[in-house]
Amino acid sequence: MSTAAVMENQPHVPEVIPTFTATLIIRRFDPEVDDEPRWQDFDVELRGTDRVLDALHKIKWEQDGSLTFRRSCAHGVCGSDAMRINGRNRLACKTLIKDLDISKPIYVEAIKGLPLEKDLIVDMEPFFESYRSINPFLMASGSPDKERKQSPVERARFDDTTKCILCAACTSSCPVFWTDGQYFGPAAIVNAHRFIFDSRDEGAQVRLDILNDKEGVWRCRTTFNCSEACPRGIQVTQAIAEVKMAVLRGKP
């Protein structure tokens, strides 16, 4: 009997996926009982394919149902689960536990610069207010008889900034935003860039005037925190610099 035939006759043994225990230390806050946030630690049994979001689910489902956090698609598209993991802004659904140093506790807390509501949830309204203020939609006059054509080169001009998922990771990593609640923030400027450099749009000057405000692009200190925090790899600092140059030129 051939080796292949012998192997085919062997009983199938399911592969055992190794597990390990990780400690998550989560910054908790319940406005009904807490005067100040507090840290609480949890030991969680995980697998190498698990993400921080999976760990949070296990804690909520198996240890403490009161743990509160946002999540939706769990695939890095909705932007709901941005949080600080070991001091860095990340998406919990894209952060693999095995990529962290599990010999040490994993610290998880809410993103900074926005009002804390409960545990890992912040009030996103100030963030979205800045986003809405830059007119994040195509501004074009008339009703064309056919589609507004755009060349591949024209489309590539703003391709990078179309990737924003409004997770607030960039904005809440910005030291200026932490200390100045009036600053538009990187995400709003990124979304303004997306339309300012769109050849089909006619509202570039309106947005440039808005961002020329004292709380606009000139508040950026070019620390690159925003670019490092972006889970989509957008060159946020570069986009802000390009908007600054457009403001100085008076046109895109």
pLDDT digits (tens, 9 = 90+) for 46-102: 998 999 999 999 999 999 999 999 999 999 999 999 999 999 999 999 999 999 999
Provide the residue range defining the domain that includes 159: 125-139+153-249
The CATH code of the domain that includes 96 is 3.10.20.30
Q: Is the pLDDT of residue 220 over 70?
A: yes
> Are residues 168 and 74 part of one domain?
no
- The dihedral of CA 54, 46, 37, 223: what is its sign? negative
**Mean pLDDT value across residues 180-191:** 92
Query: Does a structural domain hold residue 50?
Result: yes
Total number of domains constituting the chain:
2
Query: Does a structural domain hold residue 26?
Result: yes
pLDDT value of residue 13: 63
Neighbours of 168 (CB within 10 A): 25
Burial class (CB in 10 A: 0-12, 13-18, 19+), 115: exposed
pLDDT value of residue 54: 97
Q: How far apart are CA 171 and CA 160, in angstroms?
A: 17
> Are residues 167 and 101 part of one domain?
no
**Mean pLDDT value across residues 4-19:** 66
Query: Does a structural domain hold residue 6?
Result: no
Query: Does a structural domain hold residue 144?
Result: no
pLDDT value of residue 48: 87
> Are residues 170 and 237 part of one domain?
yes
Confidence of residue 189 (pLDDT cuts 50, 70, 90): very high
Query: Does a structural domain hold residue 14?
Result: no
> Are residues 132 and 94 part of one domain?
no
Confidence of residue 141 (pLDDT cuts 50, 70, 90): confident
Q: Which residue has the tokens 């489309």?
A: 155
Contact 89, 129 (CB under 8 A): no
Query: Does a structural domain hold residue 28?
Result: yes
> Are residues 234 and 133 part of one domain?
yes
> Are residues 106 and 167 part of one domain?
no
> Are residues 35 and 103 part of one domain?
yes
Per DSSP, the three-state class of 88 is strand
pLDDT value of residue 2: 59
Q: Is the pLDDT of residue 11 over 80?
A: no
Q: Is the pLDDT of residue 8 over 90?
A: no
Say what the pTM is: 0.88
> Are residues 171 and 113 part of one domain?
no
Order the strands of the 88-91 sheet from edge to edge: 38-47, 19-28, 106-109, 82-85, 88-91
> Are residues 30 and 99 part of one domain?
yes
Query: Does a structural domain hold residue 170?
Result: yes
Confidence of residue 223 (pLDDT cuts 50, 70, 90): very high
Query: Does a structural domain hold residue 2?
Result: no
The CATH code of the domain that includes 231 is 1.10.1060.10
> Are residues 223 and 242 part of one domain?
yes
> Are residues 198 and 111 part of one domain?
no
| Higher-scoring residue by pLDDT: 148, 156 | 156
> Are residues 240 and 196 part of one domain?
yes
